[in-house]
Chains A and B, each alone.
Chain A
Amino acid sequence: MTTKAYREITIPAVILGVLQGIIMTAAFVYAGLRLGFGIGGSTIAAIMGFALLKGVLKKGTICENNINQTIASGINTTGSGIIFTLPVLYLMGFLGNDLTSDIKILGLIALAATAGSFIGVAVIIPLRKQMIDFERLRFPSGTAVSVILKSPGAGKTKAMLMVGGTLLSAFVSFLMHKGLIPESFDLGGLLGFPIYTQTAIYLSLMNLGAGLLAGKGGLPFALGGCLAYWVLAPIAVQMGWVPTPEAMSPEALGVFQKDFLYGNMLRPMGIGMLIGGAVCGALMTLPVLKSVFKSLAQAASASGEHSFLKNDEMPLKYIVVSVIGSFLFLLGICNFIAPEMGFLQSFVVAFAGLVWMILAGMIVAQCTGTTDTSPLSGLSLIAVTLILFLSGQKVLVTVLIGVTVCVATAQCADMMQDLKTGFLIGGIPVKQQMVQLCVAWIGPLVAVTTVAILWKYGSGSPGFGPGTTLPAPQADALQSMIGGVMSGNAPYMKYLSGGLLGAALSVLPVGGLGVLIGLSMYLPFFITLGYGIGCVANMIIVKAKGLSWVEDYVTPMAAGLIVGEAMIGLVFAVMDIIK
């Protein structure tokens, strides 16, 4: 027992967090260019923190380890935003030709990403109260990390369940990586469903674990998938809205229809629904936001008999400074890169970028809170479309603002997961927000440098892009999107119809319905279905055994399922780099 101050923000926690963050950023940027998606680092950082702070230094506390994982994931999450946007400048020839020009543009990109990091953290301040304190969204990864952090005092059974879940998930994920078992089980083929309904179950135990943690809160997401692929998709095919090219085998036709429905109809409409749902949802929850701002102000001046009311949130002035600072920075970028745009056009572009950052932050926070999946790429594509349109097709300006938006959005999702972990272990929000702000510049620097090095010394010539061992699939998709907008083929109508439908869903008295149904259309059905099975299983167990039983037995097991797959993902990424 000790009477010393409780350890929370300490030098070892900060150093360990920064070191892990830097290593993971470099590793995940490489893996992202190779595989096309980012990897979350919170679980790994928490386990390493547990081993080093508690095991080696013998001093670590639960809240101190939380600070370590907050820093590490805050740094590495920037990479997800960078790999999607920056490589496109290399692929389109804006970078990689002249060293002096490259350094200037890369410096601006690092600054843009840092600005995005700051605003991502600032946007979360009022949203934390709404989504964690009031809506109490589950944030499956954040919950999983809290289970790891709490494991020293959670009791033998919970620890064993978590370890069991981790091993099982790691084993299944390993077999999947090695190609020994398929990624999904074709349930539709077994039941005779048409291929275009995508009725397969993703065998990822991480996905199942997220559903198990979400429970009934995640059910609308699963039902939205059923509506999209079992009701709307057959309607579209039966009405003859999906082209049926001649001279195709039935199987090839099924695959064609599946890709067409997903790529040209459901996915764009899903993106539109995400946006419409978020905008309308924000309007519907204005009373709560008003209450949030009121309480932030009240807590700061609490006195007398209510002096125990602590101001654990970052002061409101940080939101104002971040918002104004980011706006001025975006305005400066527009003027610096494309002075021919003039003040008014630059103002409009910068303002649209700022509004989009806030909106996208709200959307990803809602999505990760319920389903653990983030529609980062879809939202970034919309951002790029919008800015490209408003800037009169200035690619460099568009990508720079795209970087800011992408990093801000990724930061929102990560910060919210970390704050959920913080809530569950009793961390102080302002301390987490402060450390994340202090290290916000490190991730962009590491990620930008890594991309530049990989271009110069990557496996092919050029270093990455289609046809090399680092295909950069996300950047390739963004390049296609830019090409589409510039040739006038952007799917504006798809976004509009989806947006209106999302708004109509958000008016219903079920929180976040527009965003959740939109996300279920945006994602392939096999992910939604596997997640939905987890939700239904949770509801059945709650009914049979009660809520406390679920917290005691199902939560640790589900957390283990998430951790195991994340660990295997990291192991394979590191092995790739070593090779």
Chain B
Amino acid sequence: MQNTLWILYILVFIIAAGAGLKVSFDPNGENVQHVIVSAWFYPSLIACFLIAFGFKKLQAKEDDKPEDHTTMQSSPDTYLNLIVITYPADGSVSQDIIEKIQSICLQMADERFAYIQKYGIQKFSEFFEHFSHGERYLNRSWSALVDNHHQESLESFQTSQKYFEHALEKYNLLK
């Protein structure tokens, strides 16, 4: 259904944009322009909006279905749990561990559009914000470690862990 809507949208959009080009430059005067605008541009433009809202309706319908993760490889809690358990229990920090967590973050971030589609933009932003903060502090930990500032690296590493745990908490409340 979604594919059909996409094809339909593209076709109607081409018609509307074509009319837009003509509207944009009409050497024959205002009357001709007015006719073209009325007969071609606006109807196709309205059709574009209608199809786009059709998409939204279709999505809302799919969101009401029982949760399934077919559109995403893993749900956010899978990644966030994986991140949290990757932190060493003794609180130590090393470049290898940071890079391992960064790579999991990368995979989770790559699926953000599937999450937005699944949970809606508002719910998504509420848990993803903390994930992003965690990732930034993880990056800071990496930089400080490379700069030989172990204390800063450790502090940032611990802060990042707290952010990821908080993101998981938030997600569990929202889902």
Contacts and interface: CB of A to CB of B under 8 A. Distances in A.
Interface of A: 1-7, 61-63, 129, 132-136, 149-150, 152-153, 227, 231-232, 235-236, 239, 241, 243, 264-266, 268-269, 285, 287-288, 290-292, 295, 306, 308-310, 312, 423-427, 491, 493-494, 497-498, 500-501, 504-505, 507-509, 547-548, 551
Main SS class of interface, B: helix
B21 A236 contact: yes
Interface stretch (B64-72, B76-84, B85-93, B137-145): B137-145
A367 B56 CA distance: 25
B107 A2 contact: no
A291 B125 contact: yes
Nearest to A261: B21
Given A269-B24, A308-B163, A426-B142, 10 more contacts: A2-B150, A152-B146, A266-B21, A269-B21, A288-B121, A291-B125, A309-B133, A423-B136, A509-B56, A509-B59
A133 B103 CA distance: 17
A424 B138 CA distance: 9
A62 B146 contact: yes
A498 B20 contact: yes
A30 to B, nearest CB: 35
A490 to B, nearest CB: 12
Given A62-B143, A291-B129, A3 B151 contact: yes
A285 B121 CA distance: 8
B24 A494 contact: yes
A547 B128 CA distance: 20
B106 interface: yes
A269 B17 CA distance: 9
Contacts of A504: 13, 16, 45, 48-49, 52
Interface string B23-40: 111110000010000000
Of the four ranges (under 10, 10 to 19, 20 to 34, 35 or more), the interface on chain B belongs to 35 or more
8 contacts: A2-B150, A7-B147, A61-B147, A62-B143, A129-B129, A236-B21, A285-B121, A426-B144
A265 B136 contact: no
B27 A243 contact: yes
Interface string B118-142: 0011101110110011011111111
Contacts of B171: none
A1 B129 contact: no
Contacts of B128: 133-134
A231 B17 CA distance: 10
Given A134-B132, A426-B138, A1 B150 contact: yes
B17 A232 contact: yes
Nearest to B113: A511
Contacts of A491: 24
A517 to B, nearest CB: 9
Contact of B95 (A153, A236, A269): A153
A501 B121 contact: no
B43 to A, nearest CB: 12
A320 to B, nearest CB: 22
B159 A308 contact: yes
A505 B25 CA distance: 22
B125 A292 contact: yes
